[in-house]
Amino acid sequence: MTQKIEKIVVATHNKGKLKEISALLLPFDVIAISAGEMGVDEPEETEATFIGNALLKARHSAKATNLPALADDSGLEVLGLNGAPGIYSARWAGENKDFNVAMARVEKELKEKNTQDYGARFVCALALVWPDGTQKAFEGYVEGHLEFPARGENGFGYDPIFVPNGFDITFGEMDADKKHAMSHRANAFKQLIAEVFEK
């Protein structure tokens, strides 16, 4: 373990993301607070990869709060759209972060491409940066396919259109505990925990 972490700032303004990350950190007695709650603004995501953007956000929050900062950059890669929306997943939801708009755009673009390839995967990059500049980054995935119309009220983002491999329900219909156990974020978290918390 690099150093004992008791309090961590999660570099997000997304309450759904904070809730998921807090649940994953619970067994390690780590208090998680969001950058939004601490009045830290969101930096412009200028990197070309999920890991690049996660590191950018974590560095920004660590510097602003002088606390270890955990940032997540995640998104949906749709095979039939050549990996789009990818790192632009949140931006497809517009300024109001309306993912109904984003999901409708995915469906529209797939139809316009006249493709039968609805394969997709969620990607999650996690970056942990300490105030002294030490940093670690991990990437996790969950594979599946898309189905329309959207189904389910659970989760957030693109969850209501994503069906993970081996299931016939969307993340939006899935019990939160089941989703947390297998999600792209959980996958990246397992790597983070093994590297940072379990040594």
Q: Where exactly are the structural domains of the chain?
A: 7-197
Q: What is the pLDDT of residue 14?
A: 81
Q: What is the pLDDT of residue 77?
A: 98
Per annotation, catalytic residue among 29, 72, 73, 98: 73
Q: What is the pLDDT of residue 1?
A: 41
| Separation of alpha carbons 3 and 54, rounded Å | 20
Q: What is the pLDDT of residue 186?
A: 86
Each residue's pLDDT tens digit, 89-144 = 999 999 888 999 999 999 999 999 999 999 999 999 999 999 999 999 999 999 99
Domain 7-197, classified CATH 3.40.309.10, yes or no: no
Q: Which parts of the chain register pLDDT below 50?
A: 1-2
Decide: 129 and 135 in contact? Cβ < 8 Å. yes
Q: Whose CA is closest to 142, among 186, 183, 189?
A: 183
Strand order from edge to edge, sheet including 7-10: 31-34, 7-10, 69-78, 119-129, 135-146, 162-164
Whether 175 is catalytic: no
Decide: 92 and 79 in contact? Cβ < 8 Å. no
